[in-house]
Amino acid sequence: MLYSEKVMDHFTHPRNLGKMDDADGVGEVGNAKCGDIMKIYIKVNDGIITDVKFNTFGCGSAIASSSMATEMIKGKPIAQALELSNKAVVEALDGLPAHKLHCSVLAEEAVRAAVKDYYDKHGIAYDPQQFKDFDCVACHEGHCG
């Protein structure tokens, strides 16, 4: 089987799907060229991510990665969300096909972009090195279309 049961479950029954109008931070990554665009919204209260939503335009792996990433950061401190890695997302999904690993990278980058947006909007200082350029790395490495 190409996809794990967890990937199929998160694709067919995505968690935290939707838009958040009053988000404290919004992160959007990806591009139309590679076909996957992820947008993650976070609500933060006392440094804890109290709510999270996502909208993803892309394949099943992208939707499943977004869904799993939101589940993994909900209720967690911001600092912990920044530590979310694409590897952790892949492991939580019981694996992704090699040519779909870029989807988990996008999920990690979308979370980081949402946190950076939150920091920027609230004047919270951070190390710029912590936030490298958000671009579809997989596209540059030739893993997409």
Q: Does the annotation mark 34 as catalytic?
A: yes
- Kindly report the three-state secondary structure assignment for every residue of 42-106: EEEECCEEEEEEEEEECCHHHHHHHHHHHHHHCCCEHHHHHCCCHHHHHHHCCCCCHHHHHHHHH
Active site residue 103: yes
Sequence-ordered list of residues with C-beta below 8 angstroms from that of 65, at least 6 positions apart, any chain: 86, 89, 93, 96, 103, 104, 106, 107
Question: How many whole angstroms separate alpha carbon 48 and alpha carbon 97?
Answer: 32
Pick the catalytic residue: 59, 103, 136, 139?
A: 103
The residue from 34, 59, 139, 144 that is catalytic is 34
Q: In what order do the strands lie in the sheet with 36-45?
A: 25-31, 36-45, 48-57
Q: List residues with catalytic annotation.
A: 34, 103
